[in-house]
Chain A
Amino acid sequence: MKKIEDLTYYELLEVAPNATAQEIHRAYERVRRIYEPNSIALYSLFTPEETAAIHQRIEDAYRTLVYEDNRKKYDAKLRGAVELPEPAAPSHQRYYEPPSPSPQRPMPRSLPEPAAPHPADVPQPEPQPPVRHEEVTPVAPFIGEYTGPAIRALRELRGLSLSTVANQTKVSSRYLESIEEETFQKLPARTYTRGFLMLYAKALGCDPERFASDYLRRFDAATKPLKAK
């Protein structure tokens, strides 16, 4: 029996430690709904503050477990049963500091900046490039509009390739690419596109409704004239 704060992310999401990304995603959707602020099922058990804290922790759990790198690091930490990540891995320490002190500001307009400096300044302890995941967790709310280029930028910020996202969402990478390039004519009918957008949003950790509606506004604007009555 544990305090709620001490539950591991796996226990919090009620998944097995070897759950697949898809299982984690589904578990997150389910558990997140349970611990929503006005959840009737929790009435009298948790105060609103406690529910909010659990909800936040569930978000953190998801962000950690759904991205491979974050998850690996988390698993290692669990195995080592070390308290917090910072002291444990000195090599990480360095790049918590140098990158923009508040990387979590809306980035879409001047995008190239965050991406460029990192691979250059920082020594790479691991072979794979997306070391910049470190700064990305927790993921900040995205305040701009979800345009194709913005979506691509978000994906790159997460260090995800098109094929990774395609694997995760089961949406073909060609469609994902078309979404990013806003080559609307290559996208399928609106209903399908909407579905793909929601999946893409979830894979990036964004609010699916907003993501889809922003994008569909542009989609509709571009495709309507073709359906002249």
Chain B
Amino acid sequence: MIELQDALRKKEIWAIGGGKGGIGKSLITGNIGISLARLKKKVLLVDADLGGANLHTTLGIGVPEMTLSDFLNRRVETIQDVIIKTSIPNLSLISGAQDFLDAANPNFAQKTRLLRHLETLEADYILLDLGAGTSFNILDFFLFSDHGILVVLPEPTAIENAYRFIKSAFYRRFKKVVANQNIKDVIDAAMDQKNTMGIRTPYDLIERVKTMEKEVGEILELEVNKFRPKLVVNQVRTKNDIQIGFSMRSACQKYFGINLEYLGYVEYDDCVWQSIRSKRPLSVEYPYSRPARCIERIVHNLLRKEQLTLSVLY
């Protein structure tokens, strides 16, 4: 009875992605989880980066017995069977697979089953560590979450991937809310920057759709307004690096018409790679370090639904 009530309690799902690999998604996901757990929230971390699973390593947990792919392949029936309790109170983990190639690409049925089971779990927060890239699964998990968080490094490659991710995500969203096949085709074609329809920006796409079916175009505009990804800049060393978050926020608004919220930044510090090398969680090994405190501030902002304002720079 208590379990049922618990399951019905509102839980939030946060997804952490970023397009580019190796930028610190797993590290940040794990340590956000630790921060929340310390606030006495029940947290479940899910390493959805099948084929590239690192979350367990950033938490200092050895290669686990049962993983997500066991669930996806029905080697076990319920998701509870793959949940691992960590040594940190309130924090549990579903690890990504040490698995075969095809398990890294769950199909639609497997994905739906996963999401359905996740919904039944008792937790205050479920954190999904998405993999790198912009595959449909990653985009869908990102769109499905209550808060989608993008991580970037202050480097052009990471930034480029982030924009690609944003574009892919909401074009995918567009396709989901549109029934008309012709319009879906237009959206698909628009994803190709060199399309022959002269569609360069999302604005162009929406205008084009409006000419085909005005109401659908307006629905797409609403979707754009609803889409509110969050941004974290990792490995920050200078004020200019911090500024990147604000710049991206501005550029997203002007180019996509999307509200990218600047959640915070994580400062670069040697203790980060040291903790990874020693396979110990950052927030446990170096709790007073700057990166650890940056992550706490990020969690604080998310819980309060706040984002950074420019006053941090002046």
Interfacial residues, chain A to chain B (CB-CB below 8 A): 1-4, 7, 12, 14, 30-31, 33-34, 39-46, 54
B37-73: CB near A (< 8 Å → 1, else 0) gives 0000000000000000000000000000000000000
B203 touches A1 (CB 8 A): yes
Find chain B residues with CB under 8 A from A7 CB. Answer: 254
- Of the candidates A1, A34, A43, A44, the one whose C-beta lies within 8 Å of that of B250 is A34
Query: Is the contact region of chain B dominated by helix, strand, or loop, or is it mixed?
Result: helix
Within 8 A of A (CB), among B192-245: 201-203, 206, 221, 224, 243-244
| Nearest residue, chain A, Cβ from B152 | A41
Residues A4 and B254 in contact in the complex (CB < 8 Å), given A30-B310, A34-B247, A41-B244: yes
- Answer whether residue B257 sits at the interface, using C-beta atoms and an 8 A cutoff: yes
Q: Does B96 sit at the interface, judged by CB under 8 A?
A: no
A43/B221 in contact, CB under 8 A: no
Which A residues are CB-close (under 8 A) to B154? Answer: 40
Chain B interface (Cβ within 8 Å of chain A)? 154-156, 159-160, 163-164, 201-203, 206, 221, 224, 243-244, 246-248, 250-251, 254-255, 257, 310
Given A1-B206, A1-B257, A42 contacting B251 (CB threshold 8 A): yes
Q: Which residues of B have CB within 8 Å of A44? A: 156, 159-160, 163-164
Cα separation A14 to B259 with both chains bound (whole Å):
13
Q: List 6 A-B contacts (CB under 8 A).
A: A1-B202, A3-B203, A30-B310, A34-B246, A44-B160, A46-B255
In the complex with contacts A1-B224, A2-B203, A30-B310, A41-B251 CB distance below 8 A:
yes
Instruction: Decide: A41 and B248 in contact? CB cutoff 8 A.
Output: yes
Cα of A42 to Cα of B160 in the assembled complex, Å: 8
Residues of A within 8 A of B160 (CB): 43-44
Contacts of A43 in B (CB 8 A): 156, 159-160
Cβ B206 vs Cβ A45 within 8 A: no
Task: Report the separation of the CA atoms of residues A158 and B164 in the bound assembly, to the nearest whole angstrom.
Answer: 45
**A3, A7, A34 pick with most chain B CB within 10 angstroms:** A34
Known: A34-B246, A42-B247, A44-B160. 20 other contacts (CB 8 A): A1-B202, A1-B221, A1-B257, A3-B203, A7-B254, A12-B254, A30-B246, A30-B310, A33-B247, A34-B243, A34-B247, A34-B250, A34-B251, A40-B156, A40-B159, A41-B251, A42-B251, A44-B164, A45-B255, A54-B254
Chain A positions within 8 Å of B248 at CB level: 41
- Shortest distance from the beta carbon of B110 to any chain A beta carbon, whole Å: 33
State in angstroms the CA–CA spacing of A40 and B156 once bound together: 6
Once bound together, how far apart are the Cα atoms of A49 and B248, in whole Å? 18
In the complex the two chains form, what is the Cα distance from A145 to B216 in whole Å?
58
**Docked complex Cα distance between A171 and B167 (Å):** 47
Give chain A nearest CB distance to B254 CB in angstroms: 5
Instruction: Give complex CA distance A46, B193 in Å.
Output: 12
- In the complex, what's the smallest C-beta–C-beta distance from A14 to chain B, in angstroms? 7
Q: Hey, which chain B residues are within 8 Å of A46, CB to CB? A: 251, 255
Complex: A34 Cα to B159 Cα, angstroms: 14
